[in-house]
Chain A
């Protein structure tokens, strides 16, 4: 039975998205939440390339979508990390519970 087929690749992508989602819910440091989002994004990218390979062999549209996706990922990392730096500068702490008040208290 061949292992390398579309269903297995999609199952792998789904598992990666779930692992990343678990990390987003479990991690308390904002930096590691962003890192878990990258794991989820990795799963989505695998799904894009798998669909292009198994179901659309005429052109590289999926590869193009992958390039769009990492462009967005770069911007997301830059903006998200600068926000984390600002929060750290203001609160000296980046756990979720401390910064969930959106500036109501500034200790």
Chain B
């Protein structure tokens, strides 16, 4: 791919991503906000593909956009937190100013304390020699995770994610279960 084309695609994806994310945060209607977040995963996936991570780009759309964000959409549709006209009640100018000021303070702290050391450390690393065929594909990633499974720490930690998800399922079921007293109380 010629370098100018990469730059143009990167600029388009970055602008689209920033605009959609800002809209997610600023827009009033919660359903539209969720759908815009799902839409913002498309430029994110384009960025991943530009960075030679095609499988991660597919995961972003299929798993993140298709499964996790659908959960959000279902819950928002179910409890519908916009009682009148899509407005979140009482979202007044004072709260907005507080949020803006806090963000600016956060930006200043990040600019002064966090960014310079991270930036210098990152620039001190040698540039990567990417170009290995199949980099970022499913086969290459599977090779990284599951090669020599008895001695590979990535295999163990990858399997531990499934345990974490199991614990999450149990916690979610336990939270949303109706207690016996609730059922006899108000039903």
Contact = CB atoms under 8 A, between A and B. Distances in A.
Interface of A: 2-4, 6-10, 12, 14-16, 18-23, 25-29, 31-32, 34-36, 38-39, 42, 45-46, 49-64, 66-68, 70-79, 81-86, 88, 94-95
Is chain B's interface secondary structure helix, strand, loop, or mixed overall?
Answer: helix
Contact of B14 (A12, A21, A79): A12
Contacts of A88: 79
B68 A64 contact: no
Interface string B93-136: 00110111011001100100001001100110111111110011
B172 A60 contact: no
Contacts of B98: 25-26
Sort A-B residue pairs by CB-CB distance and give the 3 closest, nearest first: A57-B128, A26-B99, A75-B168
Contacts, number: 227
Interface residues of B, number: 88
Contacts of A12: 14, 17-18, 47
Contacts of A6: 122-123
B49 to A, nearest CB: 10
B46 to A, nearest CB: 11
A95 B90 contact: yes
B56 A49 contact: yes
Given A2-B3, A16-B17, A57-B130, A81 B171 contact: no
Contact of B44 (A46, A63, A75, A95): A46
B168 A78 contact: yes
A5 B78 CA distance: 43
Nearest to A88: B79
